[in-house]
Amino acid sequence: MTEVLSLLPGWSCSPTALQPLADCLRPALEVRLEALPLSANPANWLDELDERLPRGGWLGGWSLGGMLAAQLAARRGGDCPGLVTVASNACFSSREDWPEAMPLATFEAFRESFQQDPAGTLKRFTVLCSRGGSAPRQSAQRLQALQHGWSPEALAAGLCLLAELDGRDALRQYAGPQLHLFGADDALVPQGGAASLQALLPQAQIEMIAAGHALPLETPELLSERIRAFILAETKRQRALGVRP
């Protein structure tokens, strides 16, 4: 039976941003690209995803999508055989007990900039996502082309989640296998976030890849190798233990 992996994109991006990665993962895995909710109420996002994403399959996501996938995995428990995140910190903005994240003042300035100039801020965001990659200008242009279908209200709701989500409890609570992949030159998630996450989750597999924040666009082949190997190995282990049919 082919394993199912539902993937969620990052803030402001359509699921098409994950298409290169999905193409590399198939046919070894059945990949479902899912959109983030477009509700202006961030409190509804997780419930909507829980209703829409298939149960019994792996959950994964990029950046904000990974943070939401972690929340959903913790909620579903045994109904989720595993979790994969890409460039996704436990907390996107820094806290006193989680400093390895975007400085709070920087994030608040970004939110204020979005309120005053949404289009310009979105463009600057794609530049930040692409920084550190092998072809940053090309990646930024591709990301800009994939920023569609969002209302300003939904984008603001996504920023609210980036500000408020603290995934540490969910990640600790979820008992299934976890793979967390980070970009070594990520301009949005500090390298220290990976080390802090490893300390938080000693049993999780955490790897650094030479790329920026836009790993799914920059290095889909390498990313897919890591994800495919992890999922297939964990599936084999679970079946050998009789955990799954």
Q: Is the pLDDT of residue 1 over 80?
A: no
Q: Identify the DSSP state of 14.
A: -
pLDDT score, position 244: 76
| 81 pLDDT higher than 90 | yes
- Catalytic sites, residue numbers: 63, 186, 213
- At residue 243 the predicted structure's pLDDT band, cuts being 50, 70 and 90, is confident
87-133 pLDDT, tens digit per residue, is 999 999 999 999 999 999 999 999 999 999 999 999 999 999 999 98
| pLDDT over 90 (residue 242) | no
In this model, does residue 50 exceed pLDDT 90?
yes
What structural domains does the chain harbor?
4-240 (3.40.50.1820)
Phi, psi torsion values for 149, nearest 5 degrees: 85, 0
Q: What is the pLDDT of residue 148?
A: 81
| Sheet of strand 30-33: strand arrangement | 30-33, 4-8, 58-62, 83-86, 178-183, 205-209
